[in-house]
Amino acid sequence: MPPHIRVSASAVIVRRGHILLVKFDDRTGPHYNLPGGGADPGETVEEACIREVYEEAGARITIGRLLMVREYEPVRCRSAFGKRHKLNLVFEGLLLPGSEPRMPHKPDAHQIGVEWVALNALPHLNLVSPSLPGQIARSLRGASKPYYVREEC
């Protein structure tokens, strides 16, 4: 039986006014998300974030500060994003010198792209969560400490 809460990590990676996003096309249609994913057994969330960013975006990063903790409860959201309770830790991701994001050789199911998107275009994109642009903006404005987000559906 899987754990009650799935723990994952994502990265906000910004370069020259653009944010790195992963593009998917699945049953909900085309949408974007931060690079990241679930932690494997025996793996820290920082290790999971580094691994998932490389797997999804081909980018080598170091982990910066914790920006936010996002919680998704399927009961509150009528299972809009799946039936599993999720806790997502979102970190600042810092590209290592010489690392250039690219589409991986073996992309995740339904993954169709890796894109640098202008920060001011975020509110106009179809993101996996409609509240994500505001959450990212709050983090980038310099929120002095991490904050908690209860996903609104």
Among residues 102, 126, 117, which one has the least CA distance to residue 53? 102
Digit-coded pLDDT (tens) for 131-147: 889 999 988 887 678 98
Provide the pLDDT for residue 48.
98
Mean pLDDT computed over 73-82: 61
CATH 3.30.1540.10 matches 5-143 = no
Phi/psi of residue 56, nearest 5 degrees: -90, -30
Mean pLDDT of all residues belonging to the chain: 90
Let me know how long the chain is. 153
Q: Which amino acid is at 97?
A: P
Mean pLDDT computed over 63-83: 77
Mean pLDDT computed over 52-62: 98
Task: Provide the pLDDT confidence category of residue 77 given band limits of 50, 70 and 90.
Answer: low
DSSP 122: G
Digit-coded pLDDT (tens) for 19-54: 999 999 988 889 999 999 999 999 999 999 999 999
Q: Where are the domains of the chain?
A: 5-143
Task: Provide the pLDDT confidence category of residue 79 given band limits of 50, 70 and 90.
Answer: very low
> Can you give the pTM of this predicted structure?
0.90
